Structure 1
Amino acid sequence: MNYQRYIDWADDRIVNDSRKVVLAFLVVTLVFGAGLGNVSTNAGTQQFTTGLPAEEAFERVNTEFSPAFSPDTGNTQLIQEGTNVLSKDSLLRMLRAQERLEEHRDLRVSSTSSAASIVASELDPEATTTESQRLAIEDATDSEIDAAVRRAAEDPQFTGLVSEDFNRKSASASATIGLVTHELPAGLSSGSGQGGSSPLTNIQRQAEFTVESTGQGSITVFGSGILAEEFSSVLFDSLILTVPAALLFILVFLSVAYRDLADMALGLAALFMAIIWTFGFMGLADIPFSQMLIAVPPLLLAVGIDFGIHAVNRYREEREDGADIEGSMRATTDQLLVAFGIVTGTTVIGFLSNLSSSLPPIQDFGYVAAVGIVFTFLIFGVFLPAAKVELDRLRERYPIPTFSQRPLGSEGSKLGGVLRGGVVIAQRAPVAFLLLVLVVSAGAGVYATGISTSFSQDDFLPPEDNPDWIESLPEPFAPSEYTVTETTNFLDEKFTAAQGSQVTVYVEGSMRSDGALEQVYRAGDDPPETFVREDGRADATSIVTVIQDRADRDAEFRALVARNDANDNGVPDDNLGEIYDYLLSSSSRGQALNYITEDYRSTRIVYSVEGDASDSEASADAREVADRFRYEATATGSTVVFQAVSDVIFESAIVSLAIALTGTALFLVFIYWLIEGRPSLGLVNVVPVVVTVTLLAGTMRYLDIPLNAITGTMLALTIGLGVDYSVHVVHRFADEHAEAELIPALDRTVRGTGGALLGSMLTTVFGIGVLALAVFPAIGQFGILTALSIVYAFLTSLLVLPPVLVVWSRATNVWSGLRPIRRRRTLAPDDD
């Protein structure tokens, strides 16, 4: 394939039709700019769980068994804390808050409940309204209330609403939760949940104001609407903090790299166009902006800055050698279009490897980032050179201020001397150095096998306490007032730390069939280690426990159960439809429907898990118990769902890494066979990238940064970003070695390309490193890891790659027959 004619055609368009090229790109920018207004946002954890079997089962459980999660209702929690939330004053405070919320029509309150309501009912069984319950508490003495609390402690609903430090003897607890149910217009509550725009947000913020206005300062209003709002706030605050800081660093380092105001303006304009094209494409393609996509602009900046500095620096090298504008730009684009094309191909492979993930946000990230890189290639490979030609032609006709036009790392400069460290190693001890690199890389790779995985809502929320310097920032940079993390930490500490968590098994099948309940009951025999045991069986609540509870209180029902209990174990075996009909026609109807559907086609069993059990262990044991059923049974619950996502993230990280590494190696082998006739150069190109990946993976474990929804993409992205640096070195070296001996070619390569790489590295490291300032923790970790991956890629390209090229050259001894991409075309100003 004669690819050179296509390069020559592009050279001609850039040089001879530069004005048309610039205008065409500006028109396309306007088209994509029109799509910016269509970009929506999507935040939170819910987007990561779509399609997982455990999550789908969890949704069915919430829909079928829990009225609080039905399509037309929403829940708000009233979290009360104090020295003793079961004292008379505290109980009255909770009931007054419930009363005020019920009176507020806009809040659409359908019901409220709390530990205070249960205590009041113990004092006065006739007290069925919140007002009458408040009066019952007001009329009671402290000793009567304490006695009522002790009686209420026999009710599992009561103990579920008080903190784990509840003391029955002293009738005290440090925290309690009240529940408020809201009726919502049909279909609206489907949007509620963790992340995105929630219809409960306004209701819960109004409820918060209502409670505060009653003077009940010890009660915190919390719910999914408030959680969703803070997810979005974290996203916005992270952008408002990081984008200006990134721009500041980029401006500073670009001013050093370009050292010319007009050239820097061109580079910035090209970066701005790349962002507009990418986000405009998202709007036109209806792809929402999520936390994952916060990383896309910095990645485009990283590649764009690199392309821009290389293009201008290479052009200046030709100009310094005496070539005119047209000849210099032809020589520049002749070489760099190929290099940029290789970099784009490998980077796109790295990004597209994320399509192997089953998580939609990670797929969207890979897709958008790949499209953005292609846009970046077109803008910096075609638009920027054409605009630079137009600019320098204008400089010849008009007195446009011109500052330094000397290339970075030019011969004789101090910087050039520093950059050639890898060449010195390659001259003196290449094999010994590479053996050392092999040992270090292998060690880092083995060490990295201990990287942990994580997925929780905490990954998407700010820390409980922001650093003082963030809190002291002026508007508009000051972050929002965050409360959710503090609240969730409080709930974890007070209500779940000692009690452990729960897992659910969702069972689908005819529950009328004889023996169906025996399956439910026997599944709790010989429970796994992480399950809480009670009398040698798993501590569980199910339709079986509802039946047993009703039988203890209802003689007629107890006789019905006994008649249909073949093995006399308290679990009916026959005529189960009659059993269920009795329950649903009694006062136990609501409790029964929490565990069995009205058509008797599915049921759920909720198992208690030990507090010290890890999510992975609890999930594995839940799946083991689900496998005991003859019916179709699925382990689910928030613990299982989040662990399933965590497992998918780890699997995605490994699969995408393998795809990216394999795809990149095959692509480079093919491309170097095509342009150089030496496919083994492609493998040489991959060596520093592999070293970079192992170093980054080892660093992740050392810094205790887990593979989560955001950082799980890093290993594959490191290949895409790392190849950028090594491709420039190998491609330039091939071109230089076509006319010079091995070491002089390496020397010229690291002085010229190394200087551009240094400028690119410093700019992108600081530009992307500012993501560490984000109040969104996972993005901060992503920024740190991306900056480190670029530093590692730079160092391995200039220190590891020269010795690899020397060893490769000596081993193959084929350079004399190497077909160069082009012959250097250095024309003096007076040459034709």
Structure 2
Amino acid sequence: RARATLMIAGINGSLGTNAAKDVSKKIVETASNFDNFNVEATGSSVISYQIDELTGKSNKIILPSIFIAIIIILFINFRKPSYVAISLGGLTIAIIWLFGTMALLGIKFNTLAIALIPLIMGLGVDYSVHIFHNYLTEIRRGANVKDAIVISIKDVGLALILATITTAVSFLSFLSASIPSLRDFGILSAIGIAYTFIVAITFEAAMRYLMDKNKEIKIKKSESKFSAGKIMERLSGMLCKNPIKVLIVIGIITAGMGMAAIHVTTSFSLEEFMPKESSAIKAMEKLSNYFPSASQDQEYILIEGNVATLEAIRGIKETMDKIGDDTFIAKLPDGSIKADSIYKIIENAIKENESIKSRFHIGKDGLPATNEDVVALYNYLYNNKKYAMDVKYVLHKNGNRYDATVVRVYTTLTTLENSNEKMERLYKDLKGDISNYGNARAIVTGSMVLIYTIMKSLTSSQLSSTIVCIVIAGIVIIIAYRKPLLGAFTMLPVITSSVWIMGTIYLAGYSLNVMTVMVTSLTIGLGITYAIHVVERFRMVADKTGDILKAVEEAVANTGGAVLMAALTTVAGFIVLVASPMPPEQQFGFITATTIIYSFLTTVLAIPPLLLLWGKWRKKKKGYIISP
């Protein structure tokens, strides 16, 4: 009893993106119109269509949720609606500017672009928090509104500028990526960060001044033991008493995470972009079980040049012989390999018509005797109605010259696979299948080959660009501070949290894919911001007072409180993505939120003990901390 049957529909590869989506939509709708039996639609085009549909639905839930989460955290922090309204107003302006720029640059909206909104909101709200937190501190100390605004911008201005520059540099590291959408993401992220900085120190500061200038503002110091300031104040005391122990613990954790990080792998598959219960994914799994020899997943050996030569056809014959030993080659029910080439068509033609052998002088090796015989054989097959369609499927004719041919290799490895090892094996097998084709040259290509080569180059380029990014950011900070050790201290949380997050990716069972591969650059962009604020506050207080303990306490208790609230707000913006039905967005949300937590922890735990030890050494050696 037959349990299932299969219909294969080919979609014109020359169709535009929207037209292909419309065809996929029609296929899905048609499949759902049968009542008497179950019809399911699947395939890479159908899966891509469902991904787009799911992304649209996800946006309607996720984006409002991000706003709500940030509103709640901001209100808990400032306890006044006006602060929340100004912050969100500034973020909205920056996002409008960003997407306007995106349209002007001709960059299309895609899955990665979704991440821009929580990213810009999460990082942009940091600027609001630091400016307003400093503003309220100055008001609490007795300054008037105008002076409080001016002092706030002056005090946090350098930190914000350095944070903006270094964060932009970290995102511009994506320009080295081989995936265009990642390069676009890097450019837009850098532009977006610049926009949020501009809006924060202009629009938001001006709005705060206009709303408060005619008011008498009195702010009571919070007496709660659980306020951000109080928590950070207690932390400061602990750090000042046990600096060496804290650094040893951080070193041990970093070593452990580093051991885990070296085992992180890369992967990419369409299945990663879909929920496990996706109908198209389930149908694809059924297809593999019911029809193992019906694979339509192809990889290609493309041969370009003069392919109408005896050397070329002999090379194609050798390639077909080698393919039989490939690990992931699909096979027909009779056990023969599933691969198409001009040589296979010649073989089949001879089986059907023995006279072809004598007509084109084909010997016992199955090959014509001369180059002229090869050309004549190609012409015969190309113009014969019986063979023409199959021949044009693998052989390209330009005028009177045959300038390209392709060996189509059907594989059991599909775009649902996410094993980097399997893709590497497939790629190496196909590379090994290439023979000598005379003056013609061959390359291996196809969806799985492209995924493998792109992810491999992406991983290596991301590693090198991350190193370059850290070096550039470090140079910028060292130039600004004019003290190499302070620059090194500022970069420490970036390096430490990068190791921690890579270790966490491994321990969580994730791999580096098109979304998570950007984590190192995100770590630099997020982590360095917090470090800059803490180090800058220490510099300012230490230079004014010459008191090391006071400078460390101020950096942790005052600026650390602002950093804590900024981190919580940013985490709230990203953690919402965990509720997305799209697995890559879930992973991106979780990993980015964890990155922020790590960046905060390494900033407030590692930098203060180092600043304390460095300050004591500096004062003992030179008699002053920052300047005489």
TM-score normalised over the length of structure 2: 0.89
1:648 equivalent to 2:434? Answer: no
Q: CA deviation at 1:377?
A: 0.6
Of the three residues 578, 582, 585, the one matched with 1:776 is 582
**Does the CA-based 8 Å contact 2:340-2:407 persist in structure 1?**
yes
Provide the rounded CA distance (Å) in 2 between the counterparts of 1:819 and 1:761. Answer: 28
Residue of structure 2 in register with 1:233 after alignment = 53
Residue of structure 1 in register with 2:345 after alignment = 546
Q: CA deviation at 1:545?
A: 1.4
Flag the 1:740–1:777 CA change in 2: closer, same or farther, 3 A.
same
**Does the CA-based 8 Å contact 2:43-2:280 persist in structure 1?**
no
Flag the 1:637–1:378 CA change in 2: closer, same or farther, 3 A.
same
Of the three residues 446, 469, 480, the one matched with 1:671 is 480
The Cα offsets for residues 218-246 of structure 1, whole Å up to 9 and x where unpaired, read as: 33345666444323222212211211221
**Does the CA-based 8 Å contact 2:31-2:39 persist in structure 1?**
yes
SS in 1 for 2:317: helix
Provide the rounded CA distance (Å) in 2 between the counterparts of 1:226 and 1:203. Answer: 9
Residue of structure 2 in register with 1:579 after alignment = 377
Residue of structure 2 in register with 1:680 after alignment = 485
Q: 5 Å matches for 1:570-719?
A: 570-574=366-370, 575-586=373-384, 587-598=386-397, 599-607=401-409, 609=411, 614-626=422-434, 628-630=436-438, 631-673=440-482, 678-719=483-524
Moved more, 232-241 or 618-627: 618-627
Residue identity (%): 25
Q: CA deviation at 1:347?
A: 0.5
Flag the 1:339–1:647 CA change in 2: closer, same or farther, 3 A.
same
Provide the rounded CA distance (Å) in 2 between the counterparts of 1:497 and 1:318. Answer: 74
Provide the rounded CA distance (Å) in 2 between the counterparts of 1:779 and 1:388. Answer: 35
Residue of structure 2 in register with 1:727 after alignment = 532
Provide the rounded CA distance (Å) in 2 between the counterparts of 1:796 and 1:622. Answer: 46
Residue of structure 2 in register with 1:151 after alignment = none
Provide the rounded CA distance (Å) in 2 between the counterparts of 1:366 and 1:260. Answer: 35
**Does the CA-based 8 Å contact 1:513-1:576 persist in structure 2?**
yes
Of the three residues 378, 383, 388, the one matched with 2:208 is 388
Of the three residues 190, 197, 218, the one matched with 2:14 is 190
Flag the 1:650–1:627 CA change in 2: closer, same or farther, 3 A.
farther
Residue of structure 2 in register with 1:50 after alignment = none
| Letter matched to residue 39 of structure 2 | I
**Does the CA-based 8 Å contact 1:260-1:405 persist in structure 2?**
no
Q: CA deviation at 1:623?
A: 2.1
| Letter matched to residue 443 of structure 1 | G
Provide the rounded CA distance (Å) in 1 between the counterparts of 2:98 and 2:411. Answer: 46
SS in 2 for 1:246: helix
Flag the 1:529–1:547 CA change in 2: closer, same or farther, 3 A.
closer
Moved more, 378-387 or 523-532: 523-532
**Does the CA-based 8 Å contact 2:24-2:49 persist in structure 1?**
no
**Does the CA-based 8 Å contact 1:552-1:558 persist in structure 2?**
no
**Does the CA-based 8 Å contact 2:228-2:564 persist in structure 1?**
no
1:366 equivalent to 2:186? Answer: yes
Flag the 1:225–1:544 CA change in 2: closer, same or farther, 3 A.
closer
The Cα offsets for residues 189-230 of structure 1, whole Å up to 9 and x where unpaired, read as: 6344xxx42x14444544555565565633334566644432
SS in 2 for 1:600: strand
1:179 equivalent to 2:4? Answer: no
Flag the 1:536–1:560 CA change in 2: closer, same or farther, 3 A.
farther
Flag the 1:210–1:524 CA change in 2: closer, same or farther, 3 A.
closer
The Cα offsets for residues 93-127 of structure 1, whole Å up to 9 and x where unpaired, read as: xxxxxxxxxxxxxxxxxxxxxxxxxxxxxxxxxxx
Q: CA deviation at 1:180?
A: 4.2
Provide the rounded CA distance (Å) in 1 between the counterparts of 2:426 and 2:321. Answer: 17
Flag the 1:206–1:315 CA change in 2: closer, same or farther, 3 A.
closer
Flag the 1:271–1:212 CA change in 2: closer, same or farther, 3 A.
closer
| Letter matched to residue 109 of structure 2 | F
Q: CA deviation at 1:793?
A: 0.8
Flag the 1:815–1:797 CA change in 2: closer, same or farther, 3 A.
farther
Of the three residues 261, 279, 285, the one matched with 1:448 is 261
Provide the rounded CA distance (Å) in 2 between the counterparts of 1:592 and 1:655. Answer: 45
Residue of structure 2 in register with 1:171 after alignment = none
Q: 5 Å matches for 1:456-467?
A: 456-460=269-273, 462-465=274-277
1:513 equivalent to 2:319? Answer: no
Q: CA deviation at 1:606?
A: 2.9
Provide the rounded CA distance (Å) in 2 between the counterparts of 1:211 and 1:267. Answer: 49
Provide the rounded CA distance (Å) in 2 between the counterparts of 1:437 and 1:201. Answer: 51
Higher RCO (C-alpha under 8 Å, 6+ residues apart): 2
Q: CA deviation at 1:807?
A: 2.7
SS in 1 for 2:5: strand
The Cα offsets for residues 523-558 of structure 1, whole Å up to 9 and x where unpaired, read as: 345566526599999874321111111111102113
Gaps of 5+ in 2: 414-418
The Cα offsets for residues 801-825 of structure 1, whole Å up to 9 and x where unpaired, read as: 111212322444467545579xxxx
Provide the rounded CA distance (Å) in 2 between the counterparts of 1:359 and 1:532. Answer: 28
Residue of structure 2 in register with 1:32 after alignment = none
Of the three residues 586, 589, 607, the one matched with 1:801 is 607
Provide the rounded CA distance (Å) in 2 between the counterparts of 1:355 and 1:231. Answer: 26
The Cα offsets for residues 379-420 of structure 1, whole Å up to 9 and x where unpaired, read as: 112221221111111435xxxxx8x84577x89876434324
Flag the 1:509–1:573 CA change in 2: closer, same or farther, 3 A.
farther
**Does the CA-based 8 Å contact 1:314-1:407 persist in structure 2?**
no
SS in 1 for 2:93: helix
Residue of structure 2 in register with 1:789 after alignment = 595
| Letter matched to residue 353 of structure 1 | S
SS in 1 for 2:275: coil
Task: Number of aligned residue pairs: give it.
Answer: 610
Q: 5 Å matches for 1:3-402?
A: 84=2, 174-180=3-9, 190-192=14-16, 196-197=17-18, 199-206=19-26, 209=29, 213=33, 215=35, 217-222=37-42, 226-396=46-216
Provide the rounded CA distance (Å) in 1 between the counterparts of 2:314 and 2:238. Answer: 74
Provide the rounded CA distance (Å) in 2 between the counterparts of 1:312 and 1:209. Answer: 53
The Cα offsets for residues 256-307 of structure 1, whole Å up to 9 and x where unpaired, read as: 1111122222122112212112112212222211111111111111122211
Flag the 1:263–1:532 CA change in 2: closer, same or farther, 3 A.
closer
Flag the 1:219–1:733 CA change in 2: closer, same or farther, 3 A.
same
Residue of structure 2 in register with 1:530 after alignment = 327
Q: CA deviation at 1:353?
A: 0.6
Flag the 1:713–1:406 CA change in 2: closer, same or farther, 3 A.
farther
1:439 equivalent to 2:252? Answer: yes
Flag the 1:350–1:208 CA change in 2: closer, same or farther, 3 A.
closer
CA-atom RMSD, angstroms?
3.0
| Letter matched to residue 246 of structure 2 | F
